[in-house]
Structure 1
Amino acid sequence: MRLLRLRVEQLRRFREPVEIRDLEPGINLFAGPNESGKSTLVRAIRAAFFERFKSSGAGDLQPWGDTSAAPSVELEFEWQGVHWKLSKRFLRQKRCDLEIGTRRFNGDEAEEKLAELLGYQFPGKGPSKAQHWGVPGLLWIEQGEGQALSDSVAHAGPYLKSALGESLGDLASSAGDALIARVEAERAKLLTASTGRPTGEYAEILRQHEDAVARLTTLDRDIAAYRQQVDRLAELRRLRGEDEGRPWETYRRQAAEAQTKLTEVQGWRQARAHEAQDLEHCVASQQHGRDQQAAYARQHQELEQRVRERDATGLRITELQADRPRIDAQVEQAQAVYRTAEARLTTARR
């Protein structure tokens, strides 16, 4: 399966629509600070696949303090060469729509079709759990839940046994534990348990390998130097044979070579001066970029503070609005008392 597009709305921190398009094949990396919504996106994908749209167990998808929100998730993906589009809305105006190529499904039929083709099942009621996810559940390992992989394997066991044979039972049994212990013991002979660094025979072999590589490098360097000396000797003998009759031509040739080298050196100096200027410009640009980055960081902090103040103000407004009927009742009661007192005063004056 390859995800192509994700869109969420009114889901946890994403009250406004957020859409991610053009996901690449393989691994797509989402980076951001804490509480920026990375886990929320993963939860949205998981809810789209595993949660029934009618389930009340999706209450954690609702934005905080907004009981009227209707969290929605829309996914587009490819499965076995066919384009799929899945849309779900939870809690309010619940619905589920599924498009598989040119075919369309709605409601419970859409969810059952999705579960049937992808190999898992939905719960009869309540939130979805590991025992309902089957083999796809093995692909959803959340942060801090890696130690619970054995439970997911147990729930997916019947299908895995039919596909892989009875060897899966050995892996999940005490014999599998013994095999794991044996592998760990053999590994401890080669790598340290705490840092994973080579030890014992493995470390000695690596050290011998490094020594052999160093000796080989030295020998290669000596051979190259010897060959250069042999070539230089042959060149000197050839030059000597040519210069025995006309030695002045050798000096003229050397002078021309020296002039050529001098020209090259002057060119290098000019290039170095240009590179030094470019380096100064790069350093200045880098400092400017750092200043902008610091300014952006301050603006981001100010924005977060304003968001927190806005949320606090919204909460206070909600509380005051909830208390308004009581205050209006007190005002009406006070006005009635005032009118009664005014009538009595008028009577007394008469």
Structure 2
Amino acid sequence: MVLVWAAASLAPGAEARQSAFDTRASHAVIMDYETGAILFSKNGEEPMPPASMSKLMTALMAFEALEDGRLTLDAELPVSETAWRRGGAASGSSTMFLEVNSRATVEDLLQGIIVQSGNDACIVIAEALGGTEENFSAMMTERARELGLESATFANSTGWPDPEHRISAADLARLAQIIIRDYPQYYSFYAQPVFTYNGIRQFNRNPLIGVMQGADGLKTGRTSEAGFGLTASAVRDGQRRIVVFNGMETERARADEAERLMRAAFTEFELVNLVEAGGGAGQVEVFLGQAETVALRAVEGLSFGVHRRDRAGVRAEIVYDGPLRAPVQAGDSVGRLEVTTPDGRIFSVPVEAAEDVNRQGLLGRAGTGLVRLIRGG
């Protein structure tokens, strides 16, 4: 049985409708950094080709190796012919311009990956940590799953097109959140506007760096399959938002949409704290009870993000098999509180009885049964 429950400030029985906000990107999410709540999603949980945005995972693997001592920033790593040939200028891909059989420090390689999007730098890191890029890619996938990034499958360290190389926009946002939260000592690389290596100066490709106040990361991506994409973060008035989108047709379109989405992230979306853990979550009918209904409480807190103009279109319901049969004890599992937003996202938390409801006596049960018989129940 589904019982519609109207929470304060939500429209009772509101019908789902199209979101008031949209984007030309094929995939997009806006995340509140502090809570991890998704404020907006368009195909956000659907695996997609991330192109060079997958270098966030490559960098994370390096950050973890720095923390556990497998790497140091001043360690010099060899540039193999494979890294030079597949990731260098001759490959026609983004490159740090490493020279074959040379050595580069981990610190330079990280800047080459983050600022210059160097495929050669990625392969050098991959070979240092995994022996081969293939082994490292398997390590990336395994680690991503350990971190809860269930959509992630990495076929390489660079984002080079491969039918098996996929991750969702939502998981890219979660990955960015992990990097920002757990590795602040390295996160400053993402805001670095320019990096010069081997006499070649290259600028950060993130269109928000130096343009939008508070923007300080993270990574662009582009292939013919994926289109132009961006994973970005910014801080305003003590709040941080993360924006991920993909599938734009041109570099200019990516820059314009990056500004629009990030601006909207701060001005058009809000976080709704619907109920705290242990808070009241409505009531449901009880059959053969000394009370006709029982109050419910949420087992966990429920928060979600929504566009300000979408708030009236949010639908909240208690989903349970009912009516409940007495006796009911406080703490009994009842069902779940489920919220659906106009852009199709669904959030739910379990609910339980907040009080005892004893069973009616024999005469009471007989009377209830007679009433139901008369009513045809």
TM-score by length of 2: 0.16
Which structure has the highest helix share of the two? 1
Which structure has the highest strand share of the two? 2
CA radius of gyration, larger in: 1
Report 1 or 2 for greater relative contact order, CA contacts < 8 Å, sequence distance ≥ 6: 2
